[in-house]
Chain A
C-alpha cells in the first residue's frame, strides 16, 4: 500500500533560520511526490513536485526538496525562514497505479515562524 508520513506535526523556527520539514513515503512503484502549502483560510498551493527527473527539486518562494530513494524521503527545506512562511505544509504521494493519478496526503506539518 502507498502511504506518506510527515514526521513532525509542528515545527517552530526563528525568522532567518533554516527550515526542514520531513516526509517519508512508501510506494511499490516509482511515485510522484509533491509538497503543498495551505495558509490559514486559503486554498492549497503547489510548492514543488518530483516526477522522476532531477532528484533535487526547486520550488517557489525559495523552497526545495531532495528525493532520496534509498531513504524513501522527500524532505522540504528552505535556507532562511520568512514570517510569511507560517502555514500548514502537506507532503503528497501519487502512485502511478491504474492511471488515476490519485493523491495520498500526509497528515501535515504546521510551521510557526518566530520573530
Chain B
C-alpha cells in the first residue's frame, strides 16, 4: 500500500487569492492524480500529475486555474488560483503504481477548502 499526506488539511481563503496544496507519499509511485469533491458530490478528476512534464488535464479544467507541479516521484502540488466561492471543495490527491500497486489508487485524507 501507500501512505499519503496532504497539507493543509483545511483552509479558509478570501476570493481572488490562491492556495497551494501539497501531497506527499511515503514511497516512489509512477502516477499521481488530483481530484475535486464539491459539497455533497462525487469525485471528479482534475488532472494527472506527470513527473518532469506538464500535467494532463481533464475536460473542464485548465492549467491557468489549477497549476500542478510534480518535481519527483513522491511529491506533487496543486494550486487553486484566483479563487471564488465555487472553488469551495475537498481536494484529494491519489497515487498509483503500475508495478507495485497494480491499478489500485490510494487516496490522501483531502484538503477542505472554503472560499469566502
Interface, chain A (partner B; CB < 8 A): 32, 34, 36, 42-44, 46, 49, 51, 90, 94, 96, 99-108
Contact between B110 and A90 (Cβ–Cβ < 8 Å)? no
The number of residue pairs between A and B whose CB atoms lie closer than 8 Å in the complex comes to: 47
Contact between A105 and B43 (Cβ–Cβ < 8 Å)? yes
Q: Which secondary structure characterizes the binding site on chain A?
A: loop
Nearest Cβ in chain A — how far from B89, in angstroms? 14
Hey, which chain B residues are within 8 Å of A42, CB to CB? 109
Chain B contact patch, size range: 20 to 34
Question: Nearest 10 pairs between A and B by C-beta?
Answer: A101-B103, A44-B107, A43-B109, A105-B43, A105-B42, A107-B42, A108-B42, A101-B96, A43-B107, A32-B103
Closest B residue to A49 by CB, please name it: B104
Is B73 positioned at the interface, with any CB of A under 8 Å from its CB? no
